[in-house]
Amino acid sequence: MAGGKLQDRVAIITGGGSGIGKEIARLFGRHGAQVAILDVNAEGGASTAEEIVAEGGRAIFRECDVSRQDEVMEAFAAVSVSFGPVDVLVNNAGISHVGTVETTTEEDFDRIYAVNVKGVYNCLKAAVPSMKGRGGVILNLASVASMVGIPDRFAYGMSKGAVLTMTYSVATDYVDHGIRCNCISPGRVHTPFVDGFLARNYPGREAEMFEKLAKTQPIGRMGRPEEIAKLALFLCSDDAAFITGSNYPIDGGFVNLKI
């Protein structure tokens, strides 16, 4: 889209192969961004890039495990060669886990930490130096689990709490370098991730559990990926030039409405 909100800006989106990340990538492409998708899911990531190009946008895909710093650094370097240095980073890649501290194994904890915490750190480590002096925007995807206690989400809540505090830290450290850093904390959003989560953890009870989870939002339903994408576009555009160091719950009232 000529004259879009992100016209000609280089935007890296992790986990852009499906769900929220895919919708963010597609919306950014429609608003003129040069979109680079990083994902371990080669099929999904390539498909998202193809869809953006088919819609008249510019996009590339790079297979990348965000938990591996060498892969992240190589991916950012490749994007720079193709499009130029990154202007916008969306740290969206993440995985989930169900369990209390007693049922969470060391392997479970390490796996969540590697993707949800170290993965965000690795991408920040790659992006911030190239943004210093030029300015840039970073948007991290946390969760309502970073703000309130949710049953059986010990490791997941830990990881998203870290994402939230990394947001505050980067915003503070680099405000004088022209870098804005904000965070979105979604409630439950209906994505293929949710469907897979229900199938793995509640086999035979998927429909029942979907309805139960949907009703935990006071608004009465799960969010839609495109709703999260619209907030992401706003925060990464010049419309939000006065916003940094902020966390935005987008959760159908889950955190603040006591109904």
Active-site residue set? 156
State the number of CA atoms in the 13 A half-sphere of 23 facing the CB.
17
E strand or H helix that includes residue 38: strand 34-39
Query: Per-residue DSSP letters for 191-228?
Result: SHHHHHHHHHHSTT-HHHHHHHHHTTSTTSS-B-HHHH
Torsion of CA 44, 15, 155, 190, to 10 degrees: -70
Dist CA 112 CA 211 (whole Å): 26
* Distance, CA of 203 to CA of 3 (rounded, Å): 47
3-state class of 63 per DSSP?
A: strand
Q: Which residues pair with 59 in a beta bridge?
A: 35
